[in-house]
Every structure is written in C-alpha cells, then in structure tokens.
C-alpha cells in the first residue's frame, strides 16, 4: 500500500474544525487528551513499572531513544491506544512527535508499515502547519518554502518545519480546506497586520 496523503490531510483538517482550533501554535497534547480511546503516560510516570530511576537509561534502553511511542491494543473488541512520551524532550520537536502519534490514532493505523509512518508525518505537518493557513499567509508575503520561517511561525523544530515545507500544496477546491482557511482568517489577519474581511 501507499500513503493516502489526502486522507491524512482531511483528518487533520477535520480535527482542527471539530475542535474549533483557530490560532497557532496548535497543541497536539490537548487534542490527544480528548481522544477517548487513548491513555497517555509520560516516561516519568512509567519508569517505576520497569524499576528504572535513571531517565537516560530508560529512554535509551527501554524506549529505544524514541521521543514517544504508541501501542495499539484490542480490549473487549475495542481498539485502545496507549501513548508514552518524553516530557523532557525538546518542546518543538515533541509537538511534531505528538501530532505524528495522534495521526496514527485518528487514522486507525496498526503501526506496522512504512506508509503509515509517512501518513502520520503528513497528518502532523497538516495539523501543526496547515496548508490552508500557509496559503492565506502567502498572499501577504509569507515564504511557504522557508523552513526557518515556518519553524518560527508555527513553533516547530527545524526538522519538523522542513517536513512541513515539503508538503504538497493542496488546491483550494476542497470544502475542508476552505473551512480551515476561514477558521484561521482572523489569526492570519492579525499575524500579517491586515484586517480580516
């Protein structure tokens, strides 16, 4: 199978619309906490389960140097996700990582294939730096190809901003796209010093 980027983008846009998110930066942890089928733990929360007190050892040997990890379980016929994350990791990088994990959850991934990783990355890019918002800002001179500017504007790490900069430009022929652009119009006007019309 190949990643379905439209599906990933649409899920990100639906999330922003249904939760009425209309300013940046988007907080993926707040969205994750609203997922009823998701249990969230910090690494600090679960270290005692493994009888480990050293964070470096826990992160390195137990969590395999991952900033976050999600496990999918089937319990009584229901899918449940258990998310573990390093609350001490770089906050900008962690925002993208948590959005990536949210993508796995909302896209109902089994987390077994590389195309799912690509879809989750695309979801994260569209959630944290939505292309409709890019394009509204671009009308006012925002350089949507500059990872440095994207990192600052959308509060992302350089690596996450580079992923966001590479995401294809969706054509505004999709109602979800237009709804996200409308929802962020006031924010975009404020950010660019223009009045919303």
Q: For the chain, how many structural domains are there in total? A: 1
| Size (the chain), residues | 197
Mean of the pLDDT values across residues 170-177? 70
Residue 128 phi, psi (nearest 5)? -85, -30
- Domain membership of residue 108 (yes or no) is yes
- Domain membership of residue 196 (yes or no) is no
Tokens of 102: 């949210």
- Domain membership of residue 26 (yes or no) is yes
- pLDDT at residue 173 in the model: 60
Tokens of 191: 């950010």
- Provide the pLDDT confidence category of residue 67 given band limits of 50, 70 and 90: very high
Which residues make Cβ contacts (< 8 Å) with residue 185, sequence separation at least 6?
A: 136, 196
- Provide the pLDDT confidence category of residue 174 given band limits of 50, 70 and 90: confident
Which residues make Cβ contacts (< 8 Å) with residue 169, sequence separation at least 6?
A: 131, 134, 135, 144
- Domain membership of residue 193 (yes or no) is no
- Domain membership of residue 113 (yes or no) is yes
- The pLDDT tens digits for 118-151 are 999 999 999 999 988 887 787 777 777 788 888 8
- Domain membership of residue 194 (yes or no) is no
- Domain membership of residue 197 (yes or no) is no
- Domain membership of residue 137 (yes or no) is yes
Domain with 85, as residue range(s), is: 5-188
Mean of the pLDDT values across residues 36-58? 91
């Amino acid at each position: 199978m190949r990643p379905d980027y439209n599906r990933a983008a649409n899920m990100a846009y639906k999330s922003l619309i249904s939760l009425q998110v209309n300013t940046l930066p988007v907080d993926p942890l707040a969205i994750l906490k609203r997922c009823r089928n998701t249990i969230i733990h910090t690494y600090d929360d679960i270290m005692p389960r493994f009888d480990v007190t050293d964070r470096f050892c826990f992160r390195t040997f137990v969590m395999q140097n991952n900033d976050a990890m999600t496990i999918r379980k089937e319990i009584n016929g229901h899918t449940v996700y258990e998310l573990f994350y390093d609350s001490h990791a770089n906050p900008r990088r962690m925002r993208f990582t948590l959005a990536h994990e949210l993508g796995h959850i909302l896209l109902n991934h089994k987390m077994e294939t590389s195309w799912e990783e690509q879809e989750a990355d695309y979801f994260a890019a569209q959630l944290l730096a939505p292309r409709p918002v890019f394009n509204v800002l671009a009308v006012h001179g925002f350089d949507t190809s500059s990872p440095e500017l994207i990192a600052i504007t959308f509060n992302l790490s350089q690596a996450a901003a580079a992923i966001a900069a590479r995401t294809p430009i969706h054509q505004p022929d999709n109602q979800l796209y237009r709804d996200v652009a409308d929802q962020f119009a006031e924010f975009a006007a404020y950010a660019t010093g223009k009045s919303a019309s």
